[in-house]
Amino acid sequence: MNKTAEQYWKANIRLVGILLAIWFICSFLFGIILVEPLNTIKIGGVGLGFWFAQNGSIYTFLVLIYVYAKRMNALDVEFDVHED
């Protein structure tokens, strides 16, 4: 693997790592592990932990994929590995 390809892969792994950390936080951490403390915060009669588990995590997932696609497409161009 040449130098550029290696750097490209490292940048990719970093991006994926950050996004997966957020993925874990909004679903497993907020929706399951910390659900009771978060449920003490209520918005419109719905506990925040409950909301993350049933709605909030899904919205976050959408943003994550959007950011990933946008950042990766930019990385492709930056490292000149994009398709023609």
Partner 1 sequence: MDLQTLTYIVVGATFALYIGIAFWARAGTTGEFYAAGRGVHPVANGMATAADWMSAASFISMAGLIAFNGYGASVFLMGWTGGYVLLALLLAPYLRKFGKFTVPEFIGDRYYSRTARIVAVICLIIASITYVIGQMKGIGVAFSRFLETEYDTGLYIGMGIVFIYAVLGGMKGITYTQIAQYCVLIFAYTVPAIFISLNITGNPIPQLGIGSTMADGSGTYMMDRLDQVVTDLGFTQYTTQVMGSKLNMFVYTLSLMIGTAGLPHVIIRFFTVPKVKDARSSAGWALVFIAILYTTAPAVGSMARLNLMNTIQTGEVGSAEGNIEIAKVPQWMTNWQKTGLLTWEDKNGDGRIQYYNDKNADFAAKAESYGWKGNEMTKVDRDIMVLANPEIANLPNWVIALVVAGGLAAALSTAAGLLLAISSSISHDLLKGVFMPDISEKAELLAGRIAMAGAIALAGYFGLHPPDFAAGTVAIAFGLAASSIFPVLMMGIFYKKMNRAGAIWGMISGIGVTMLYVFQHKGIMFIPGTSFLGDLGPNWFLGISPNAFGAIGAIVNFAVAIAVSKVTAPPPDHIQHLVEDIRVPKGAAGAIDH
CA–CA gap between residue 17 and residue 23 (Å, rounded):
10
Q: Is 25 in the site for partner 1 (CB under 8 A)?
A: no
Q: Is 23 in the site for partner 1 (CB under 8 A)?
A: yes
Sign of the CA dihedral running 8, 10, 16, 22:
negative
Q: Is 20 in the site for partner 1 (CB under 8 A)?
A: yes
Q: Is 3 in the site for partner 1 (CB under 8 A)?
A: no
CA–CA gap between residue 34 and residue 12 (Å, rounded):
30
User: Interaction with partner 1 in 43-82: which residues (CB under 8 A)?
Assistant: 43-47, 50-51, 53-55, 57-59, 61-62, 64-66, 68-69, 72-73, 76, 80-82
Helix ranges restricted to H, 1-84 = 3-24, 35-39, 48-51, 57-78
Residue 82 CB, nearest approach to partner 1 (Å): 6
Q: Which residues pair with 47 in a beta bridge?
A: 42
Residue choice 21, 32, 41, 74 for contact with partner 1 (CB under 8 A):
32
